[in-house]
Amino acid sequence: MKTIALFLVALAFAATAGASETQPTLAELEAEIICPTCQTTLDQSDAPIARRMKTFIAARIAAGDTKSEIKGQLVDQFGEAVLAAPPREGFNLLVWVLPPAGLVGGALVLGLLAWRWSRSGEPVAGPDPSEDPEIERRLDAELARFE
């Protein structure tokens, strides 16, 4: 039953992702494109080039271009630095893979160290006063002071 529910949720998200690709919105693309002048996303920029880019994106959406086509045209014009998130291919794939791998690796190392620390040998006991008569005498004298 859980498998079917997970499948339906995944299917619902896939449908919205597909709709986003074929029918992008201006607000969606403004959040994914960087202004070359001020290095912020277009939705936060009011630079002249950002306004021209917003106009260009709106015109391309009205013409029926997909999100990939619009981004591709902007990358051709301004370079990959215009994308807020690097593409998931080639060397840029490291940006997407290394942080989660580092978190998982760090968690594993911490877990292993905690496990080893909790299993490290017998508990250390102090000296047994019954083994040394001098220590036992001093202990009795100290305790007698408090009575």
Domain residue extents for the chain: 2-89
Strand partners, 87: none
pLDDT tens string 15-34: 454 456 778 888 999 999 99
Tokens of residue 29, six digits: 């693309």
pLDDT per residue as tens digits for the range 44-88: 988 999 999 999 999 999 999 999 999 999 999 998 889 888 777
This prediction's pTM? 0.54
Nearest to 49 by CA among 31, 69, 34: 34
Sign of CA dihedral 63, 67, 69, 74: positive
Q: What share of the chain is helix, strand, coil (3-state, %, to 5)?
A: 70, 5, 25
What percent of the chain has a predicted confidence (pLDDT) above 90? Answer: 37
**Which CATH number describes the domain made up of 2-89?**
1.10.8.640
**pLDDT at 12 > cutoff 70:** no
**Average pLDDT, stretch 95-104?**
90
